[in-house]
Amino acid sequence: MKHRAILHPLGHPVEIRTNCEAVLDAARMSFDSWPSYFCSAPARFEIEVHDGAAPAQPPRFEGPPGRFRLWYDDANSGQFDFAERTGRVRVAAKLVPDPQFRHDFFVPLVLTALDSIFFTPLHAACVARDGRGVLLCGDSGAGKSTLSYALARRGWTFLSDDVVHLAPGRRRIGVSGSPLIHLREPSRELFSEIRGVPLGTAPNRKLAIEVDAARQGFRTARHAIVQKCFFLKRRPGPACVRPFAVETALEILLRALVPRDTTAIEPRLREFLSSPPLALEYENVDDAIALLEDAA
C-alpha cells in the first residue's frame, strides 16, 4: 500500500492507503474541498485494487453488529469494522475510474463509516436562519426537499435536503454532505424556475429534479448548530405546530437507517431528542414557511 493520503470528509480525518494512485484521485475528487473541523482519531481504509473483472451489478449493503459491508461480488467488496475503525476494500482496476464507483460505493462507504464511529446520521433536511439550524424530518414523501428548497428561495441558508450528520457533544453541530436538492415532479407547479430542468436519478434511485443550491444562487453552509427539529405532515387545512412524541420521532429516524445496526445509534438519538421535537402540519408551503419563520 505505497499510496497514502489523509482527507477530511465532513471535516473528520480519514486515512487512505492503497496500491493504486487512481483511488486517491477518486478520493480527492470527492473530499479534497473539506477542511478539518473535528479533532478525532482518523478512520482508516486499506484499498487493494486488482486486475480482475469489474462487477456487473450495483453494490449491496449489509449491516451486522459491529461492522457493515458494501459488496458487488466476492472479488469486489468493502467492509468496515467499528472497533478497529478500519475498512478493508478489494475492487477491480476497471471499476475505479467509473463515476458510479465514487457515487455508489466509495462515498457511501466512507460516510457510513463516519456515521458509525463519530456522527449520528439523521434522515432530515436542514436549513438555517440567522445561524440557527432547523431540521425538517419525516418519512420519504413528507416534503423535506420541497420545503427546504422553498425556504432557501426565501433567503434561508441551505445545508441539506435529505441527510444530516450530527456531531457528538452538546453543541448539536449538524454537518451536510451535499448542496444538491432533489425535487419530485409536482414541485414544478410550485417553482417556475425548475419547469425546464430535466429529470435525473437521485441517490435513492428515484427520478428527481436535481438543483445545485449554490449555483441556484442560494445561501449555503456545510454545518450549523441545530436548535429545532420539526417532523412534517402534509394534511388539508391551516398550518399548525404542535408537540411531537419522542418515541414516534425515534421510530421514524431509526426506520430510515434500516438495515444498518442501530444499537449504538439509538441512545444518541434519544439524547438528541431530549430537546423536544415538534410536528409541523400543513397543506400550503407558504403557510409552513410563515410558521417556521415565527418559530425560528
pLDDT at residue 138 is higher than 90: yes
Beta-carbon count within 10 A of 109 CB:
22
What is the pLDDT at residue 241? Answer: 96
> 172, 234, 223, 290: which is closest to 34 by C-alpha?
223
- Rg of the chain over CA atoms, in angstroms? 20
Q: Identify residue 153 by its one-letter amino acid code.
A: R
pLDDT at residue 204 is higher than 70: no
| Strand, coil or helix: 168 | coil
Q: pLDDT tens across 228-257, in order?
A: 999 999 999 999 999 999 999 999 999 999
Instruction: List CB contacts of 245: < 8 A, sequence separation 6 or more.
Output: none
pLDDT at residue 266 is higher than 90: yes
What is the pLDDT at residue 258? Answer: 86
What is the pLDDT at residue 205? Answer: 67
> The cell 453488529 sits on which residue?
65
What is the pLDDT at residue 206? Answer: 73
On the 0-12 / 13-18 / 19+ scale of CB atoms within 10 A, 158 is buried
pLDDT at residue 217 is higher than 90: yes
Q: pLDDT tens across 40-62, in order?
A: 999 999 999 999 999 989 999 99
Q: Give dist(CA 232, CA 278) in Å, integer.
A: 9
List strand residue ranges (DSSP E) for the chain, in order.
3-7, 14-18, 43-50, 60-62, 67-73, 76-81, 86-92, 120-129, 132-137, 157-160, 163-166, 173-176, 180-183, 199-201, 207-212, 223-234, 240-243, 278-282
> Which of 13-22, 82-91, 260-269 shows the lowest per-residue confidence on average (mean pLDDT)?
260-269
| Strand, coil or helix: 25 | helix
Q: Give dist(CA 50, CA 19) in Å, integer.
A: 9
> Which of 7-16, 232-241, 255-264 shows the lowest per-residue confidence on average (mean pLDDT)?
255-264
What Å distances lie between residue 95 and 87, 89, 180, 193, CA to CA?
A: 18, 13, 25, 37
Q: pLDDT tens across 145-188, in order?
A: 999 999 999 999 999 999 999 999 989 999 998 999 999 999 99
Q: Give dist(CA 149, CA 154) in Å, integer.
A: 9
Percent of the chain scoring above 70 in pLDDT: 99
Mean per-residue pLDDT, 94-118 = 95
Q: Identify residue 139 by its one-letter amino acid code.
A: D
What is the pLDDT at residue 203? Answer: 67
> 217, 140, 122, 137: which is closest to 177 by C-alpha?
122
What Å distances lie between residue 240 and 73, 245, 277, 280, 295, CA to CA?
A: 49, 16, 14, 6, 11
Q: Identify residue 11 by its one-letter amino acid code.
A: G
pLDDT at residue 131 is higher than 90: no
The DSSP bridge pattern shows strands 278-282 and 240-243 to be: antiparallel
**What is the distance between the terminal CA atoms of the chain, rounded to a whole angstrom?**
50
Q: Indicate the DSSP class of residue 74.
A: T
Beta-carbon count within 10 A of 76 CB:
21
